[in-house]
Amino acid sequence: MSTLLISHPACLNHETPAGHPERADRLRAIEQALEDEKFQSLAREQAPLGELETIALCHPMDYIEAIQDASPQQGLVRLDADTTMSPGTLEAALRCVGGGILAVDEVVNRKAANAFVATRPPGHHAETSRPMGFCLFNNAAIAARYAQKKHGLGRIAIVDFDVHHGNGSQDIFWADKSVMYCSTHEMPLYPGTGATSERGEHNTIVNAPLSAGDGGNEFREAMEVAILPRLRDFKPELLVISAGFDAHTRDPLANLNLVEADYSWVTKELMAVADQYADGRIVSLLEGGYDLQGLSRSVAAHVSALMTG
Query: pLDDT tens for residues 85-122?
Result: 999 999 999 999 999 999 999 999 999 999 999 999 99
* pLDDT single digits (tens) 255-309: 999 999 999 999 999 999 999 999 999 999 999 999 999 999 999 999 999 999 8
For the chain, give the mean pLDDT: 98
Distance CA 301, CA 148 (A): 29
Do 159 and 263 contact (CB within 8 A), yes or no?
Answer: no
Whole-number Å distance between alpha carbons of 60 and 136: 13
Nearest CA among 168, 181, 306 for reference residue 236: 181
pLDDT of residue 309: 82
Q: How many domains does the chain have?
A: 1
Per annotation, catalytic residue among 125, 185, 248, 302: 125
pLDDT value at residue 283: 98
Q: What is the pLDDT of residue 101?
A: 98
138 near 58, Cβ under 8 Å?
yes
Instruction: Check which CATH number belongs to the domain holding 185 and give it.
Output: 3.40.800.20
Range of the domain at 248: 3-306
Q: Whole-angstrom Cα distance, residue 212 to residue 257?
A: 9
pTM of the model: 0.98
What is the model's pLDDT at position 235?
A: 98
Mean pLDDT of 219-223: 98
3-state secondary structure the chain: CCEEEEECHHHHHCCCCCCCCCCCHHHHHHHHHCCCHHHCCCEEEECCCCCHHHHCCCCCHHHHHHHHHHCCCCCCEEEECCEEECCCHHHHHHHHHHHHHHHHHHHHCCCCCEEEECCCCCCCCCECCECECCECCCHHHHHHHHHHHHHCCCCEEEEECCCCCCHHHHHHHCCCCCEEEEEEEECCCCCCCCCCCCCCCCCCEEEEEECCCCEHHHHHHHHHHHHHHHHHHHCCCEEEEEECCCCECCCCCCCCEECHHHHHHHHHHHHHHHHHHCCCCEEEEECCCCCHHHHHHHHHHHHHHHCCC
151 tagged catalytic? no
Side-chain-side CA neighbours of 141 within 13 Å: the count stands at 27
Determine the Cα–Cα distance for residues 184 and 99; give it in Å rounded to an integer: 24
- pLDDT band of 201, cuts 50, 70, 90: very high
- Give the pLDDT confidence of 49-91 residue by residue, as tens digits: 999 999 999 999 999 999 999 999 999 999 999 999 999 999 9
Is the pLDDT confidence value at 218 over 90?
yes
